[in-house]
Amino acid sequence: MSANATPRHIAFIMDGNGRWAKKRFLPRKAGHRQGVKALERVVDACEKKGVEMVTFYAFSTENWARPQDEIDALFAMVAEFADTRLKEYVARGLRIMFMGDLAPLPQKTRDACARIVQAAKDNEGMIVNIALNYGGRDEILRAVRRVLQSGVKDVDVETLSDCMYTGGLPDPDIIVRSSGEKRLSNFMLWQAAYSEFVFRDELWPDFDEKTIDAVLEEYASRDRRYGSVKRLD
């Protein structure tokens, strides 16, 4: 049995920042800060492996239910991250995109995101996609509304796919969730049709290059059949 090739797209549900902080008697925000460092390690590791696209679930449409000070801290961190690390990523050729409804985000965060997307628009490196105020159901609804507005009488899978935030981009080959939880929490519901799921027990702030090696090893051993009876290679 030959192994799967390098995945084109890996998507991460970054979970467990709060538990990481709690274990150390620190505020949840300290966990998110370490979570940003983990994201940086994961971006570097995936780029090194030749992955074409990485997606990070940073804030869900349901996360507005959290305490306001945690929400404020998260969006302040996103703005800071865009102005610092994302700038570096742009300088080294990475492409940056955001998926989700950015309209309700603080103006400072939206401006920082827009500046980065603009600065990276001619880059050709790995795509770093950050999901902010993202929900899979919300994305599907928006896509359906766009199709309805175009006035067509019928719709097919390709047309609807093109109306998703990820239109024209590959679906995730792997969806990784940290911290032992085994659910999607409204993440990439449309794109997950044939994704391989990898659930890791490590909390997100503990993710590093070794975790990515383990994820890729696990992926290599999977038999992706797509409804057929045997491996197609």
Residues with a known catalytic role: 15, 63
Q: Is 15 in the site for Mg ion (CB under 5 A)?
A: yes
Q: Is 52 in the site for Mg ion (CB under 5 A)?
A: no
Instruction: Tell me the C-alpha to C-alpha distance, in Å, between residue 51 and each of 126, 188, 230.
Output: 7, 19, 25
- Could you say which of ligand IPE, Mg ion, none residue 90 binds, taking C-beta under 5 to 8 angstroms by partner kind? none
Which one of 10, 17, 39, 61 is in contact with ligand IPE (CB under 6 A)?
A: 17
Alpha-carbon distance of 22 to 29, in angstroms, equals 10
Q: Is 63 in the site for ligand IPE (CB under 6 A)?
A: yes
Stretch in the footprint of Mg ion (CB under 5 A) among 15-23, 77-85, 93-101, 202-210: 15-23
CB of 203 to Mg ion, least distance (A): 10
DSSP secondary structure of 93-158 = T-EEEEES--TTS-HHHHHHHHHHHHHTTT--S-EEEEESSB-HHHHHHHHHHHHHHTT-S---HH
Which is closer to Mg ion, CB of 7 or CB of 135? 135
What's at 40, amino acid-wise? Answer: E
State which residue has the least CB distance to ligand IPE.
18
Name the H helices within the chain: 17-23, 28-49, 68-83, 85-91, 107-119, 136-149, 157-162, 209-220
Stretch in the footprint of ligand IPE (CB under 6 A) among 11-19, 96-104, 121-129, 221-229: 11-19
Q: Which residue from 63, 31, 25 is spatially nearest to 178, judged by alpha carbons?
A: 31
Q: Is 81 in the site for ligand IPE (CB under 6 A)?
A: no
State which residue has the least CB distance to Mg ion.
15
Q: Is 16 in the site for ligand IPE (CB under 6 A)?
A: yes
CB of 229 to ligand IPE, least distance (A): 35
Stretch in the footprint of Mg ion (CB under 5 A) among 9-17, 65-73, 148-156, 222-230: 9-17
Asked whether the CA dihedral 44, 46, 50, 56 is positive or negative, the reply is: negative
- Show the CA angle centred on residue 226, arms to residues 179 and 143, nearest 5°: 70
| Interface contacts to Mg ion, rule CB under 5 A | 15
Binding stretches for ligand IPE (CB under 6 A): 13-19, 57-60, 63, 74, 179, 181, 183, 185
